[in-house]
Amino acid sequence: MFLPYTLRGVTLKNRIVVSPMAQYSAVDGVPGEFHLVHLGARALGGAGLVFVEMACVSPEGRITPGCPGVYSEPQKQAWKRISDWIHTHTDAKFAMQIGHAGAKASTRLAWDGTDLPLEEGNWPIMAASEQQYLEGVSQISKAMTRADMDVVTQQFADAARMAAEVGADWLELHCAHGYLLSAFISPLTNHRTDAYGGSLDNRLRYPLEVFKAVRAVWPQDKPMSVRISANDWVSGGITPDDAVDIAKAFKQAGADLIDCSSGQVSKEEKPVFGRMYQTPFADRVRQEAGIATMAVGAISEADHANSIIAAGRADLCAVARPHLANPAWTLTEAAKIGYTPIVWPKQYYQGKRQMETLFEREKSQQEAALMAAAAR
């Protein structure tokens, strides 16, 4: 996990990624002081790549009123401030993920009721087809027209330009979790009868149009990844077999890496959770589609990440919740396994040897206890 990794013209110092995680703390789509502190702390914490949460390409594309955007000048200036801070004060790379919430837009902040519609001030939502994410509760999305699709494609391209202008090193297109582009891909949410519905090739048609528009304006020397739901966990939905074909299609269109998540497309899902439970999807895509992958989901220890990378199951490991609990997760895990060459921020260097010593002492005490028990 501590080996460097190069994709196009970008080299990451290690294989650990701070996964995109919604914080619901923007105002009018503008990331603020919270985002600067939140992302800056995790960039200082040792990860090679730090993702912002999904930045939405339009006001209507936001999941909640607290979600950030990438469509206005104030947002551009705020993202540039964060990007500049990370590049000035750390050696981490800065990544942006762009998306549109589709039928899952116009909902409350997570702590006020995840996926529930706003109590007031809801905005119209649209998706691949008419859809109600929470049956009998959510708004019903309208099916996108060709004109709607053209507008949204342009919004994605404009967002990619802005991401480049603020200095992002890496761009990811969000095609997972039931959001707009994901809703085109999954047969659970795409019931169209035109050229954008039916077969997997047809359902991929619009997401690929968006990808190509974005790739055309995103700098050629910078990587672009795609997050997919590799398993809908619902009968009749996307399967791991489909995920390989989806990855092949995005690879052919110019994607550099597939970020293999799953689920969140239907409330009927029945995921099988466990340690590293989504890693098999990244493994299959990497081996069968022949494209770099990022594993994500229940990766919480250095041993998890090291086993994934060493076995060639994925190229990068995205770590989410552990980074919420500990911004310096990567530095902590390095000390825990005795990897001392890792470089700490110079301002924090006095803490490095202390943490390493504490873990060494703990390990020695555990070994002594085991030896004493064996001698009884």
Q: What is the dihedral of CA 322, 323, 325, 327, to 10 degrees?
A: 140
Work out how many domains the chain is built from and give that number.
1
Q: How many residues does the chain have?
A: 376
What mean pLDDT do residues 24-52 have?
A: 98
Is the confidence at residue 375, as pLDDT, over 90? no
Active site (catalytic) residues: 179
pLDDT digits (tens, 9 = 90+) for 156-210: 999 999 999 999 999 999 999 999 999 999 999 999 999 999 999 999 999 999 9
Write down the H helix ranges in the chain: 33-44, 73-89, 110-113, 146-165, 180-185, 200-217, 240-253, 279-284, 302-310, 321-325, 329-336, 350-375
| Section 17-22 average pLDDT | 98
In the chain, pLDDT over 70 holds for what percent of residues? Answer: 100
The Cα–Cα gap between 70 and 98 comes to: 8
What confidence tier does 343 reach under pLDDT thresholds 50, 70, 90? very high
For residue 180, give the CATH number of its domain: 3.20.20.70
**Helix, strand or coil, per DSSP, at residue 365:** helix
Considering the chain, what is the average pLDDT of its residues? 97
Does residue 230 have a pLDDT over 90?
A: yes
Nearest-CA neighbor of 37 among 50, 56, 55, 19? 50
pLDDT at residue 372 is higher than 90: no
* In a domain? residue 66: yes
Domain coverage including residue 119: 5-328
Q: What pLDDT, on a 0 to 100 scale, did the predictor assign at position 63? A: 98
The answer to whether residue 358 sits within a structural domain is no
Count Cα atoms within 13 angstroms, Cβ side, for 51: 30
Q: What is the 3-state secondary structure (H, E, C) of 303-329?
A: HHHHHHHHCCCCCEEEECHHHHHCCCH
Q: Retrieve residue 208's tokens.
A: 């690929």
pLDDT at 267 over 90: yes
User: CB-based burial of residue 140 (10 Å sphere; 0-12 exposed, 13-18 middle, 19+ buried)?
Assistant: exposed
| Structure-token pair, residue 350 | 């006095």
Position 368 scores a pLDDT of 87
pLDDT tens sequence across 236-261: 999 999 999 999 999 999 999 999 99
Please check whether residue 333 lies inside any domain of the structure: no
Q: Is residue 343 part of a domain?
A: no
* Domain-located, residue 84: yes
Average pLDDT over residues 329-341: 97
pLDDT at site 64: 98
In a domain, 372, yes or no: no
pTM of this structure: 0.97
**What is the per-residue pLDDT for 217?**
98
Q: How confident is the model at residue 95 (pLDDT cuts 50, 70, 90)?
A: very high
- Quote the CA–CA distance of 192 and 315 in Å, as a whole number: 36
334: in domain? no
In the predicted structure, residue 376 carries a pLDDT above the cut 90: no
Look at residue 38 in the predicted model and tell me its pLDDT.
Answer: 98
Token code pair at residue 95:
């990544």
User: Could you tell me if residue 76 is inside a domain?
Assistant: yes
